[in-house]
Amino acid sequence: MKEQLQKDFDNSIKNLSLSQKDIEIKKFCLDNFIDKGFPNRKDEDWKFSDLNQIIKKNIGELSFYNDQASTNKVDTSVFVDGLEHNKIVFINGRIEKIDFEYEKKDQIEIIDQSETINEFKNSNSLSDLNNAFTNKCFKILVKKGYQLIKPLIIYHTTNSKIWSKNINLRLNFELDKDSSLRLIDLFNDTSQKNFLNIFYNFELNENAVLKNYKVDKFENKNIKYSFNNIDQDKNSISETFILSSGSNFSKNEINCNLNGVYASAFVNGVFSLNNEKHHEIRSIINHLTENTKSYQLIKSVLDENSKAVYQGKIFVNSEAQKTDGYQLSKALLLNKESEFNAKPELEIYADDVKCSHGSASGSLNEDSIFYLMSRGLSYQQSRELLINGFLLDVVEKITDSEIKNLIKNMIGIKE
C-alpha cells in the first residue's frame, strides 16, 4: 500500500498550487498515515469494527489518486422531488455544483480554502489520510442573523467510473451569530467497492442553529466513514439525525464540544440493516461548561446477519455543573445471526449533574405480536407494525416537519 500511497500523493500534489510549507504539512500527514495504517481492532475506538480488515476483505487494494480534471455530468434524476432546496453536488468526490438559488447571495459566503491548509485534528489515522489527499476544500459561511430559507442538500453521488478508490472530502461550515442552517447529506451510490472518507467541521456561534440529517438509504457496496466535528458557543443548538442503512459498511462519528453556556446537542440515529451489513455510530459529547444539555437516541433494527455498533460517550468536565446528559440505545435483533454491540460511556468530573444512559437489546416481543394477531393482523403485518412504531420514535424527534416527512417517506414509515 505504501508505494501506491506515495505515487498517488505525488500525482495529487502536482495538480495543486501549494506552497512548500503546505506540501510539507500534507507530507507529514501522509507519513503519519503510512505509519499507522487504517485503524484496526487494537484501537479502542475501533474495537467493534476493524476497518483495516473490512477494507482488505471488501476492497483489497485501494488507489488514492482522483483525477479532478474531467467533469462529470450532473444527473438531475437523483434530486429530491417535492422539496425546494439548495444544492451542493459531489460526483466521485469532485464538487460539480454549488447552488444557493433560494437564498440572498450576500448572506452566504463560499470561501475556497483549497489552497490553504486546514489541518483536521482528530486522533485517528483517517484524519491524516484526509488531510493528505483532500484537494478541494470549501468553507460555507452563513452570515450574522441569516436563516436559510430552504434546506441545503449535499448530494454525495458516485458512479461506476470509479472502482477501488479512496475518496476524501472536506467541508467547513461557520454559522455566525443568530444564523441557522438545515443540512441534508444524501448518499446516492451506483459504484462499488470504494472507501469514502468524509470530514465536516461546524463552527456554531452564539444562538446559531444547525440541523444536520445524514441519509444513507440506497443499497450500495461502498465503505463509508464520516466525521462531524461541532463546536458550539453560547445558546447554540445542534441536531444530528443519522439514517444508517444503505452502505456495506458505514461509521458515523460525531464529536461535539459544548463550549458555551446553554448550548445543547441532540444526536438521533436509526440503523436499519440487513444483508450482512456492518454499521457503527460513535458519538462524543463534551460538556465543557455550565448548563449544557445533550440528548441521544439510537435505535437499531437488525436483520440477515447484520451488525450494528453504538459507542456513545458523555464527558463532563469539572466546570460543567448543571449538565443534563441523556443517552439511550435500543436494538431489535430479528435474525439469529445479527449482532448488536454497545459501549455507552459516562466520564464525569462534576457533581451537580444529571446524567444517565440506558441500553437494551433483544428480539421482538412475542406477547405484542400475539396481541396484534389476536386482533386480526397477520404475523408479518404485526411484525411490520411493531418495527414501524419502534423506529417512528426516533424519526419523530426530527424537529423540522418538512424534512421529517421527507425522511418518513424515504424509510417508508407510516404514522
Partner 1 sequence: MDNRQKEINNLKDYKYGFSTDIENIQAPKGLNEDVIKFISNIKKEPVWMLEFRLKAFERFKVLKEPDWQKPKFPKIDYQNLYYYSAPKSMKDKPKSLDELDPKLLETYKKLGIPLQEQARLNGIAVDAVFDSVSVATTFKDELTKQGIIFCPISEAIQNHPELVKKYLGSVIPTSDHFFATLNSAVFTDGSFVYIPEGVRCPMELSTYFRINASNTGQFERTLIIADKGSYVSYLEGCTAPMRDENQLHAANVELIALDDAEIKYSTVQNWYPGDKDGKGGIYNFVTKRGLCKGKNSKISWTQVETGSAITWKYPSCILKGDNSVGEFYSIAITNNHQKADTGTKMIHLGKNTKSKIISKGISAGSSDMTYRGLVDISSKAKNSNNYTQCDSLLMGNKCGAHTVPYIKNKNSESNIAHEATTSKISEEQLHYCQQRGLNPEEAVGLIVNGFCKEVLQQLPMEFAVEAQKLVGISLEGSVG
Nearer to partner 1 by C-beta: 52 or 335?
335
The nearest distance, CB 403 to partner 1, in angstroms, is 31
Nearer to partner 1 by C-beta: 43 or 402?
43
The position carrying cell 436499519 is 272
Nearer to partner 1 by C-beta: 68 or 335?
335
The nearest distance, CB 199 to partner 1, in angstroms, is 27
The nearest distance, CB 286 to partner 1, in angstroms, is 14
C-alpha distance across the termini of the chain, in Å: 50
Nearer to partner 1 by C-beta: 352 or 415?
352
**Site of interaction with partner 1 (CB under 8 A):** 44, 318, 321, 331, 333-363
The nearest distance, CB 229 to partner 1, in angstroms, is 23
- Cross-strand bridge partners of residue 353: none
Q: What is the 3-state secondary structure (H, E, C) of 112-142?
A: ECCCCCCCCCCCCHHHHHHHHHCCCCEEEEE
Nearer to partner 1 by C-beta: 203 or 280?
280
The nearest distance, CB 327 to partner 1, in angstroms, is 9
Nearer to partner 1 by C-beta: 145 or 358?
358
Nearer to partner 1 by C-beta: 240 or 361?
361
Cell of 317: 468536565
The nearest distance, CB 303 to partner 1, in angstroms, is 9
Nearer to partner 1 by C-beta: 356 or 381?
356
Q: Closest by alpha carbon to 396, among 214, 268, 283?
A: 268
The nearest distance, CB 315 to partner 1, in angstroms, is 9
Nearer to partner 1 by C-beta: 216 or 280?
280
The nearest distance, CB 390 to partner 1, in angstroms, is 15
The nearest distance, CB 383 to partner 1, in angstroms, is 13
Nearer to partner 1 by C-beta: 201 or 361?
361
Is the distance from CB of 16 to CB of 135 less than 8 angstroms?
Answer: yes
Nearer to partner 1 by C-beta: 83 or 334?
334
- Give the whole-angstrom CA distance, residue 334 versus residue 308: 12
The nearest distance, CB 310 to partner 1, in angstroms, is 9
The nearest distance, CB 278 to partner 1, in angstroms, is 13
Q: How many residues comprise the chain?
A: 415
